[in-house]
Each structure stands twice: as C-alpha cells, then as structure tokens.
Amino acid sequence: MHYQSTRGYASSSDSSVGFSEILLGGLAPDGGLYLPKSYPQVTADELNAWRSLSYADLSYEVLRKFATDIPEADLKAITHKTYTAEVYKNARPGESAQAITPLRTVVEQDGRKLVLQALSNGPTLAFKDMAMQLLGNLFEYALAKNGAELNIFGATSGDTGSAAEYAMRGKKGIRVFMLSPHQKMSAFQTAQMFSLQDPNIFNIAVEGVFDDCQDMVKAVSNDLEFKSRHKIGTVNSINWARVVAQVVYYFRGYLSATTSNDQKVSFTVPSGNFGNICAGHIARMMRLPIAQLVVATNENDVLDEFFRTGVYRVRKSAETYHTTSPSMDISKASNFERFVFDLLGGDHARVKALFAKVETHGGFDLSGQAGSDGDEFKKVAEYGFVSGKSVHADRLQTIRKVEKEFGLTVDTHTADGIKVALEHWREAETMIVLETALPAKFNETIQEALGRDAERPVGFENIEALPQRFEVMPADVQKMKAYIAQHTGL
C-alpha cells in the first residue's frame, strides 16, 4: 500500500511512500493530507468471515490492508494490546466491555431501528480513545524499532487532547505538546488534561478558539526545517493512522447490526473537524454497505452549509460560537480536504488551488452557480452524504426526550447526532448514531437539561479538584516554536 498527498506529493506512479513513513508525520511536505493511492476493497467473503471476530482481530484485518510495511505478527500483537476489556472498561450497565463498541437499540418501530454505538468506554470517556490508544502503541513500536524520539504537537477542542495524553503518558521517547482554547472546554475536559503531572506532557491554553490552535499546528507542520530538527509529529485527525483506526468501528457497527451483506445501514456522526465521518467515507469507499452518512453539526455549521449548498465558507475566530457541545466548535474542518480530493476525482491541482483559496478568500464554491469554482456538489449524493444542524435548545430537548422515553442519558454531542439522525431516518432503515462521549464530561449541560448530575465512572468522582498544570500563551507561532524548542532541548 502506497500513499500520496491530496496536493500531489508522491502521486507519480514510481513514487513510494509507506504507512510507517507517514505514521509519525502528519501533513505531507506540500501541506496536503495523505491518502492511499487506491482504497483497498473488501469482499463479501471477507465481511462474512469478519462477523465472528473480536474487535482486536477485526482491527488487525482492516489495518493490515493499509499498514503493509509492518510485519503481520507485530501488527496483530499491537491490536491485541490495544483493544482489551481492561482498557475499554467504562461500559454502561448492561453493555459488554469485551465488545469494545457495543450497540444499544434506542428505539425500534415500523421496521426501522435507531441504534447507539458506544465509542466512549476508553480511559478518557470519549470516542477519541478508539484511535488514540492504537496510535500510542504504534508510535512506541515505531520509535523503539529505530531508537528515535518524537515530539507530538497537537490541538484539541476538548477530547483529542486528553485521549492523546492518556495514550502517550509514560511512553518512552515521546513528549506531548497539546494546545487547547483557553477557558473554552468543559470543567471536566479541562481537568482531565491539566491534572496530568507526567513530565512528558505539556498543556498549553491558547488565548483564542480551536481554529487558532489548529492553525498553529499546521504552521509548525509546514515549517519543514523546524519539524525535522525538533522531530515533530501529530495526533490530530490529519494523522492518517488515526483515521484508519476509526474505520474499524464502522465495520464493527455494520457487522453487529446486520445478519447478511445485502443489508445496508446508515451512520449519523456528530462532526466538527470531519475526521470521524471521514473514516466512515473511507469504509464506504472500501465497499462497506453504508446507505447514508449523516453529518450532524452544532451552531458552527460550516459542514452543514456545504452539504446543503456546495459552499464551503470558513468562519473567522470571532464568528466561531462557544457552545455546549464544545468539541465541535470548529470552523475549519481539517479532514474535509480528503473528501474533496475524492469528490474532485483525485485532481491534485484543483484541490491545492481550492484550499489555497480557503486561506486567501475564506472558502470555495462547488455549487455550479455562476462564478463558482466548480459544479461537483451535484455528485455529493453519490457518496451518501446528507447533513443537519442542532443548537443548544435542540440538545437540551433531545437529552430530556432520550432520558424520558428510553431511560438513557446522552452527552451533548451525541444529542446533536440523535436530533439530526431523526430528521434523516428513513423507512425500514437501521440508523447507527456514533456516541462521542459519556455525559459526565459535560455535566454543566446535563444539570441544565435534567436538573441533576451525570453519573461518573469509578475514578472520576473529584477530577476537577485535582491540581492542574498548564501554560497560558497567545496565538503566536513564533512564541510557540520557542516554547517547544526550550522543552525539547533540540
């Protein structure tokens, strides 16, 4: 399996970039995102054989199609080390921790089902653990093999940061520098990150919004000399290995919800940075029988606007709302470029030009209207994408409805997903909503909606009271580089 950048790097027929080469890097040298030169195809016989596999073995079977330069025995050992009931122990009552991503039918009526897929049973109670735990073990394996070090530089709107830090804490040869928007995460999310005292973890609270943090990560990644000298890698969803790890749970969700390969299911995914649902797009491109991929946004509805109109219009920092589903408070979706590359038929030059226009003009237009940049919006339906939006009043109403009618408490982002899923739920369809976090992470809104605290898994009872260690810094790339240089000693 060989990889290319969405903007053209390594795209020639004789160029060869492998999985291990891009594992530690993040952005390609030309600023684009890595994708396989062709998506591996999954056969009906393989799907049948995979139905009875454990999550660890399913992960191995999917990953071996992409990580062809890692010995199969090593890859299998890594997936079995990662996906254990001990690591994913925070299952709800009645759910199997051994299943890793158990399904729960919320409502079944008139031949159709609405199902939640639990992705939040890991150590930080968020779906980011599904990929990050694997990434931590892959990084440790690759670094040990080469006797190397890695300085991870990432940005978080709430959940990526803690998932990365919990996955990388104590890992030999790894330091983590994690940016987050100052005072714009929930109290639980903040405490989960800032209470870590491990010497290889550096938390930086940036005076700005998530997009400011993300822009600095991209700026540092695009400084190839600095990136090389300071051994910079990334765990944000621009990292290809993280996206591939997320592909696995789409296969698991489909196989758990169906009995034969002639059945289709749809997935609704709360989405801000387009990483989670990009994995669903890749699974569909691999021929997983997915009918609809439903993008659910919050008040920061950049993606919903595109999937309704064909116009991708990035908001400025001052136009980005601070909401009660803060992990989606994103107005520049990093992974969106991967889908646009496929939508444009793999035209590197056009992708490069369109995302250059994002930087100069704040977006692009594929609606086909007069003066637009193209008419590819008409092809979006071929990829199964539809979308919707949920705001604060919607998520409060959904949290109350799900609690009252189904006896289940959901977090704010999952509530956004359920609200939008119900708008697109079709006759005789199984709609799987990806649960993105446990409600304890957003207790302030649970209190507002239900008048009580969310239940907390054992070990998280008083996390907000723990001592916190972090630095507050401006959104200044040069100061950030100086901080990294100071603490890496390179």
Q: What is the CATH number of the domain that holds 354?
A: 3.40.50.1100
- Residues forming beta bridges with residue 180, ordered by sequence position: 205
Nearest to 479 by CA among 157, 175, 154, 204: 204
Whether residue 150 lies inside any domain: the answer is no
Residue pair 296/238 in contact by the 8 Å Cβ criterion: no
How many CB atoms within 10 Å of residue 52? 9
443 by DSSP, 3-state: which?
A: helix
Q: Is the pLDDT of residue 187 over 80?
A: yes
pTM for this model (two decimals): 0.93
Residue pair 124/166 in contact by the 8 Å Cβ criterion: yes
Q: Is the pLDDT of residue 468 over 70?
A: yes
Q: Is the pLDDT of residue 446 over 60?
A: yes
Q: 163: buried, middle or exposed (CB in 10 Å: 19+, 13-18, 0-12)?
A: buried
Give φ, ψ of 14 to 5 degrees: -100, 0
Separation CA 293–CA 142 (nearest Å): 34
Nearest to 383 by CA among 262, 258, 484, 266: 266
424: containing domain = 97-124+241-450
Residue pair 287/347 in contact by the 8 Å Cβ criterion: no
Q: What pLDDT does 474 receive?
A: 96
How many CB atoms within 10 Å of residue 225? 7
Least confident stretch, 44-48, 89-93, 223-227, 429-433: 89-93
Q: What pLDDT does 397 receive?
A: 98
**% the chain with pLDDT above 70:** 100
Whether residue 8 lies inside any domain: the answer is no
Residue pair 247/279 in contact by the 8 Å Cβ criterion: yes
Whether residue 318 lies inside any domain: the answer is yes
What's the average model confidence in pLDDT over 154-180? Answer: 90
Q: What pLDDT does 96 receive?
A: 82
- 8-state DSSP, 317: G
Q: What pLDDT does 490 receive?
A: 55
Whether residue 396 lies inside any domain: the answer is yes
Whether residue 404 lies inside any domain: the answer is yes
Average pLDDT score, the chain = 94
Q: Is the pLDDT of residue 182 over 80?
A: yes
Tokens 């991870």 map to which residue? 152
Separation CA 273–CA 51 (nearest Å): 30
- 108 against 310, higher pLDDT: 310
H-run or E-run covering 307: helix 302-309
When divided into structural domains, the chain yields a total of 1
Residue pair 220/152 in contact by the 8 Å Cβ criterion: no
Whether residue 401 lies inside any domain: the answer is yes
Nearest to 230 by CA among 457, 483, 32: 483
Whether residue 420 lies inside any domain: the answer is yes
Task: Grade residue 109 by pLDDT with cuts at 50, 70 and 90.
Answer: confident
Whether residue 74 lies inside any domain: the answer is no
Tell me the pLDDT tens digit for each residue of 275-321.
999 999 999 999 999 999 999 999 999 999 999 999 999 998 889 99
In order of 33, 37, 103, 111, the CA distances from 418 in angstroms are 30, 35, 14, 18
Catalytic residues: 128
Tell me the pLDDT tens digit for each residue of 224-237.
899 889 999 888 77
Separation CA 314–CA 48 (nearest Å): 42
Q: What pLDDT does 280 receive?
A: 98
Least confident stretch, 121-125, 156-160, 440-444: 156-160
- What b/e readout covers 280-300, taking b as 16+ CB neighbours within 10 angstroms? bbbbbbbbbbbbbbbbbbbbb
What's the average model confidence in pLDDT over 412-436? Answer: 96
Q: What pLDDT does 304 receive?
A: 98
Q: What pLDDT does 352 receive?
A: 98
Q: Is the pLDDT of residue 431 over 90?
A: yes
Q: What pLDDT does 489 receive?
A: 67
Q: Is the pLDDT of residue 26 over 80?
A: no
Q: Give CA angle at 257 (255, 263), nearest 5°.
A: 80
Q: What pLDDT does 358 receive?
A: 96
What's the average model confidence in pLDDT over 59-83? Answer: 97
